[in-house]
Amino acid sequence: MTQTEPSIFTRIIEREIPADMVYEDERVIAFHDIAPQAPVHVVVVPKTAQYRNVVELAAADPELLAHVVAVAQRVADELSDGEFRLIFNNGESAGQTIFHAHAHVLAGGLTEGTLGSK
């Protein structure tokens, strides 16, 4: 994929690709991951594609990053017991496959020593 093509997240935001939405406001969307790694696995995505990863997002718009975290808490409150694991993959060798900043919210009975496996 070239940088001029929209990411899958941009296509979801623009409703070109369907997703099982759990939250949306003017700044972010949240939807169930299509390949869940936990009983609750939701992706929280800023609606701007300006930031390729969490480091760029934190440096340029810390308020938006804080909002992503707040939405993660809201999702965990609504779909689980309010406790959650928040994961940002930063870079290809760390597992990032979509270069549009996003967070994974994992919840629902996770135990220490797992990275979210069911």
Listed in sequence order, the DSSP H helices in the chain are: 8-13, 54-60, 62-79
Q: SS3 of 45, please?
A: strand
Residue 41 among the catalytic residues: no
- Of the candidates 32, 67, 100, 102, the residue annotated as catalytic is 102
Give the full edge-to-edge strand order of the sheet including 28-32.
Answer: 21-24, 28-32, 40-46, 103-107, 85-87
The residues assigned a catalytic role are 102
